[in-house]
A and B are shown apart, each in its own frame.
Chain A
Amino acid sequence: MSTATGSAALAIETHGLSKRFGQQLAVDGVDLAVPHGAVFGFLGPNGSGKTTTIRMLLGLAAASAGTVNLLGAEMPGGLHEVLPRVGALVEGPAFYPFLSGAANLHRLDAASRQTVPATRTARVERALERVGLGHAAAKRVHAYSLGMKQRLGIANALLSPRDLLVLDEPTNGLDPQGTREVRSLVRSLAHEGTTVFVSSHLLAEVDQMCTHAAVMSAGRLVAQGPLAELRRAGTARIRLVTPDGGAARQALAGLGLDAGPDPGVGQAVAAPGQPDGESIVAGLDGRGGQSHLLPEDVVAHLVRAGVRVRGFAVERESLEDRFVALTGEGFDVAQ
C-alpha cells in the first residue's frame, strides 16, 4: 500500500511510533491503521501506553521516533488544520470547577480559531442536550458528579461537526445507563460517518460497539484488525465430559490433539467419581494448527475408542481469552 492511498483510506496511520521517558520505552514501534468510518477499539491493560499514544496522535507530546498521520495530515505539523476536525476526550475530563458547564464549553470552543462565535451558544446548547446535561448547564462544574463531568467531556468533543473522535475511556465513572447512552451515541456518530477511536480496558464495551480493534501490551501493538478477524484468530477448542479420562486422552492424542484438564473447572469436578466424570479440554486445530478436524469426527473417533461421551461442546475463544492471551494475566501493571 503506497503512502498516498494509505492516507486516503486511513483516518489514523502511525509508523514506528515510539515514546521514550528516560530509560523507559512507554510506546514501542506502534503501527496503527484506523480505517475511515470505523469504530476502533484501542485495548490494553493499565500502563500499556494507550494514553501516551493518544497524546502523540493529538500533538500533545512529541514522538521519540516514528510518524503520525491524522486525517491525511502529518502530525504535529498539520495540527492547526486537522485538530478542528477532531473531537477528543483525553485521560478523563478536565474543566474549570468555578465555571458552569456551559461556560466551560464556551471557553474551550473559543480556544479554536476555526469556530464561529455566532453559532457558539446554539452549538453548546445542542452538545449539552445530546449528552443529557441540558438541566445542569448553568451549574458550576464544581458541583458535578464524576459521571456528569464525563458527559461534559463528551459534549466538548461534540461541539463542532467532527470527522474523527478520539475518546479515551469514555465510560469511566458512568452508571450503566450512561454507559448504554455512550454506546448508542458512538453508534449514531459512526452511522453519520464519523470515525471513532475509543480506548478502553473494558472488553465487553469494545465487543459491543467496535468494528475494529487493536491491543497494546507493554508499549507494543500485539494485535490489530477487524473485530471478527481478531476473534477468529483465536483457536477453537472442544470441551469433553467423560468418566473415561485416560482412554479419552489417548484417543485425542491419536488424532494429534493436546488434551488437558479444563482450566475453568476446579479439582472437585475433575476428580474421578463425579457423576459425569472428568472435564477435558483440547484445541481443535491440533499441533501447529496444520490439521483441521471437524467436531463430529472427533466424537465418532472417541466413541469408536469406547469413550463414554457425556458432554461435548465446541468453544471459540472469546475476546477476553484472546486479550488475556495477548497481554498476560495477573494484576502486574506493565513496567
Chain B
Amino acid sequence: MPSSVPADTPHAAARTRSGATPRRSRFSLLGSELKVLFGRRRTWALLLALAAIPVLIAVAVRLSSGVAPGRGPAFLDRITQNGLFVAFTAMLVSVPLFMPLAVGVVAGDTIAGEANLGTLRYLLVAPAGRVRLLLVKYAGALAFCVVAPLTVGLAGAAIGAALFPVGPVTLLSGGVVQPPEAFVRILMIAAYLAVSLAGLSVIGLFLSTLTVVPVGAMAATVVAAVVSEVLDQLPQLEWLHPWLFSHYWLGFADMLRQPVLWDSFGSNALLQAGYVAVFGALAYGRFLSKDILS
C-alpha cells in the first residue's frame, strides 16, 4: 500500500510548542455553559416571569383596600405594614408550581436540548468528555436553582420597599428583627430553596439523557414535581412522605424563627443529596453508554 507519510508535519511541531503552554481551558466549558444559559432569551424570560410574581402581588395589595388578617397566602396580610413581606409571600407562592416549572425547563433542556440542536455531537467530538459535560450541565442547572429564588426574593424586597413602608419584621417565633437582618433571612430562604431544587434538577438531568426532545424531558420533570407534591398530600402514604423530594419544600418557614431552626434545612439537604446520588448515577450510566445518533 503506498503511503508517503511526512513523519513530522508542521502541525505536529506547532502542537509540541503549544504543549509547553500551561494555560489550558480547564474551566472554559463551565464558563461557556453559564454564558450560554444566562445569555439566552429563554432564561431571561423565565426569570422575568418569576420576578413578575412579587410585582403582581405587591401591586394587587397596593390597589386593594387591604387584606383582612388570615385571608390569602401566609404573610399576605402583613404586606401593607411591611414591604419586605412581599418577598416572603412571593417565595411561598412560587414554590409549589412556578419554581418547579422554571427549573424543569432548564434541567430538562440540559442534554436533550443539545441533542435536539445537534450540538451534542460537536461538543463530544471537541472533545468535551461525557462525564465533564454531564457535570457542567448539572452545574449550570444548579446555578439556575440559585438564581431563580434569589430573583423572586430580591424582586419582592425591591417592589415591597418601593410600594410599602419598610420596618422591623416580626418573625414567626414572635421575635423582631431589623430590616438588614430581615434581608439576610430572605437570602437564607433563597438558599434553602436552591438546595430544595437540587433534587428536581438532577431528575431533570436524568430525564434529559433519555430523549432528544427537550420538551418531553421538561414536561416529565414538571410532572415528577407535581406527582411528588400530590403524593405528599395523601395521608394514606405518610410512610412515603419523608422520601419525597418535595417534602421539605415549604419548610423554609424555619428560616423565619429566632433562633433559626436548622432541622428541616439539614433533613432537606440530606434528602436532596440522596436524590443527587441516585439520579446522578442513573444519568451517568445512561449518558456514558448512550449512542449519540442525533
B11 with A162: CB separation less than 8 A: yes
CA distance A45 to B121 in the complex (A): 23
> Smallest CB–CB gap between A13 and chain B, Å?
11
1/0 per residue, CB under 8 A from B, across A25-46: the answer is 0000000010111100000000
A62 within 8 A of B: yes
Given known pairs A61-B292, A161-B15, the reply for A94 and B25 (CB within 8 Å) is no
Given known pairs A55-B293, A192-B11, the reply for A35 and B2 (CB within 8 Å) is yes
Of the candidate stretches A107-115, A131-139, A246-254, the one touching chain B is A107-115
A36 with B122: CB separation less than 8 A: no
In B198-247, which residues have CB < 8 Å from any A CB?
none
Given known pairs A116-B23, A156-B122, the reply for A193 and B32 (CB within 8 Å) is no
Q: When the two chains form the complex, which single residue of A38, A106, A192 contacts B9, counting CB atoms closer than 8 Å? A: A192
> Smallest CB–CB gap between B120 and chain A, Å?
8
Of the candidate stretches B92-100, B125-133, B159-167, B181-189, the one touching chain A is B125-133
1/0 per residue, CB under 8 A from A, across B110-140: the answer is 0000000111011111111100110000000
Given known pairs A35-B3, A108-B123, A117-B23, the reply for A61 and B291 (CB within 8 Å) is yes
> Smallest CB–CB gap between A135 and chain B, Å?
23
A230 within 8 A of B: no
Closest A residue, CB atoms, query B9:
A193
B12 with A163: CB separation less than 8 A: yes
Chain B residues with CB below 8 A from A234, complex form: none
Q: By CB atoms of chain A within 10 A, which of B26, B123, B125 has the most?
A: B125
Q: When the two chains form the complex, which single residue of B41, B122, B127, B132 contacts A90, counting CB atoms closer than 8 Å? A: B122
A contact patch SS: loop
CA distance A194 to B6 in the complex (A): 10
Chain B residues with CB below 8 A from A115, complex form: 24-25, 28
Given known pairs A117-B23, A161-B11, A161-B15, the reply for A58 and B289 (CB within 8 Å) is no
- Total interface residues on A, using CB and 8 Å? 55
Chain B residues with CB below 8 A from A161, complex form: 10-11, 14-15
Chain A residues with CB below 8 A from B36, complex form: 96, 99, 107
Given known pairs A59-B124, A79-B127, the reply for A163 and B118 (CB within 8 Å) is no
A35 with B11: CB separation less than 8 A: no
1/0 per residue, CB under 8 A from A, across B1-31: the answer is 1111110011110110010010111101101
Of the candidate stretches A80-88, A174-182, A259-267, A319-327, the one touching chain B is A80-88
A92 within 8 A of B: yes
Chain A residues with CB below 8 A from B26, complex form: 113
B40 within 8 A of A: yes
CA distance A107 to B136 in the complex (A): 13
B291 with A86: CB separation less than 8 A: no
Q: When the two chains form the complex, which single residue of B4, B29, B119 contacts A96, counting CB atoms closer than 8 Å? A: B119
> Smallest CB–CB gap between B142 and chain A, Å?
19
B1 with A36: CB separation less than 8 A: no
> Smallest CB–CB gap between B292 and chain A, Å?
4
CA distance A1 to B5 in the complex (A): 16
> Smallest CB–CB gap between B39 and chain A, Å?
8
A58 with B293: CB separation less than 8 A: no
Given known pairs A36-B3, A110-B32, the reply for A163 and B9 (CB within 8 Å) is yes
B127 with A84: CB separation less than 8 A: yes
Given known pairs A108-B122, A112-B127, the reply for A55 and B291 (CB within 8 Å) is yes
B124 with A9: CB separation less than 8 A: no
In B67-81, which residues have CB < 8 Å from any A CB?
none
Q: When the two chains form the complex, which single residue of A90, A96, A107, A109 contacts B121, counting CB atoms closer than 8 Å? A: A90
A333 within 8 A of B: no
A114 with B24: CB separation less than 8 A: yes
A116 with B1: CB separation less than 8 A: no
> Smallest CB–CB gap between B32 and chain A, Å?
4
> Smallest CB–CB gap between B35 and chain A, Å?
8
CA distance A79 to B29 in the complex (A): 18
Q: When the two chains form the complex, which single residue of B18, B41, B121 contacts A116, counting CB atoms closer than 8 Å? A: B18
B127 with A37: CB separation less than 8 A: no
In B57-111, which residues have CB < 8 Å from any A CB?
none
B23 with A118: CB separation less than 8 A: yes
Chain A residues with CB below 8 A from B129, complex form: 80, 113
Q: When the two chains form the complex, which single residue of B29, B41, B122, B292 contacts A55, counting CB atoms closer than 8 Å? A: B292
Q: By CB atoms of chain A within 10 A, which of B126, B133, B293 has the most?
A: B126
Closest B residue, CB atoms, query A114:
B24
Closest B residue, CB atoms, query A94:
B118
> Smallest CB–CB gap between B288 and chain A, Å?
10
A110 with B119: CB separation less than 8 A: no
Q: When the two chains form the complex, which single residue of A1, A10, A193 contacts B6, counting CB atoms closer than 8 Å? A: A193
A60 within 8 A of B: yes
> Smallest CB–CB gap between A66 and chain B, Å?
15
Chain A residues with CB below 8 A from B122, complex form: 88, 90, 94, 108, 111, 156
> Smallest CB–CB gap between A255 and chain B, Å?
35
> Smallest CB–CB gap between B118 and chain A, Å?
3
A226 within 8 A of B: yes
Given known pairs A116-B25, A194-B11, the reply for A9 and B119 (CB within 8 Å) is no
Additional 6 contacts, C-beta under 8 A, given A61-B293, A94-B117:
A60-B292, A85-B11, A93-B118, A117-B28, A156-B122, A193-B10
Write 11 A-B pairs (CB below 8 A) sorted by A numbering.
A35-B3, A60-B125, A94-B121, A95-B119, A109-B25, A110-B28, A111-B28, A111-B29, A111-B122, A113-B129, A117-B28
A-B pairs with lowest CB-CB distance, top 8: A94-B118, A193-B9, A110-B28, A111-B126, A61-B291, A111-B128, A83-B127, A35-B3
B interface with A by C-beta (< 8 Å):
1-6, 9-12, 14-15, 18, 21, 23-26, 28-29, 31-32, 36, 39-41, 117-119, 121-129, 132-133, 289, 291-293
